[in-house]
A = this chain, B = another copy of it.
């Protein structure tokens, strides 16, 4: 028999993340942890994804923010159940906060649960919440040097969604260089190019996600 010794904040988080995982598995719910810096387009991507998957998957959303409920109101306006978590100053979601939110959802009636993390490219990558998939967004406007400066986020994510590709002509963002850098750090990462403004690329991303959830 192996005894695991768990210590400190990361290990306490890990225990609850596993409990979340167990709960979600028992209800057959697929959970995405969606992360990015501020203003990369998390809420816009959630709205576009919900629209694309409407009638195909039963979705719900957990919104993580330091404060306020701007985002959960945007989701609720779209007719989808949204639970708002306010971290009260903390710059990332922890598994225990997600655990509380899970208790407020009717998990039997959900196929896909999207968790929008706090806008931050650093700490959310360090805290598992019991997700099936870690997805991150990088906006074209943020620059193609970001993987070198926030490597953990890029190496921990299963999916990178490059958003705001409509702005490519007006920036010096080199999408080829970005992909090369990221693939070196994380060869298994899936990369999608989208514009939440125009809708470009949303179909491809949503179809891929639907397969993941159904598979």
Q: Which residues of A contact B (CB under 8 A)?
A: 37-40, 65-68, 70-71, 89-91, 118-123, 126, 139, 141-143, 145-146, 148-152, 164, 166-167, 170-171
A162 to B108: give the CA distance in the assembly, Å. 45
A38:B121 contact, CB within 8 angstroms: yes
Number of copies: 2
Q: List 23 A-B contacts (CB under 8 A).
A: A37-B38, A37-B39, A37-B119, A38-B150, A39-B142, A39-B143, A40-B142, A66-B149, A66-B151, A67-B151, A68-B148, A70-B145, A70-B149, A89-B122, A89-B126, A89-B152, A118-B122, A120-B121, A141-B142, A141-B164, A141-B167, A167-B167, A167-B171
A39:B141 contact, CB within 8 angstroms: yes
Partner of A141, one of B90, B120, B141, B145: B141
Q: Contacts A66-B149, A149-B65, A167-B167: A123 and B37 contacting too (C-beta < 8 A)?
A: no
A39 to B150: give the CA distance in the assembly, Å. 11
- CB-defined contacts of A118 to chain B, threshold 8 Å: 122
- CB-defined contacts of A65 to chain B, threshold 8 Å: 149
- CB-defined contacts of A67 to chain B, threshold 8 Å: 149, 151
- CB-defined contacts of A150 to chain B, threshold 8 Å: 38, 66, 119
- CB-defined contacts of A71 to chain B, threshold 8 Å: 149
Partner of A119, one of B121, B126, B166: B121
- CB-defined contacts of A149 to chain B, threshold 8 Å: 38, 65-68, 70-71, 119
Least CB distance from A69 to B in Å reads 9
- CB-defined contacts of A126 to chain B, threshold 8 Å: 89
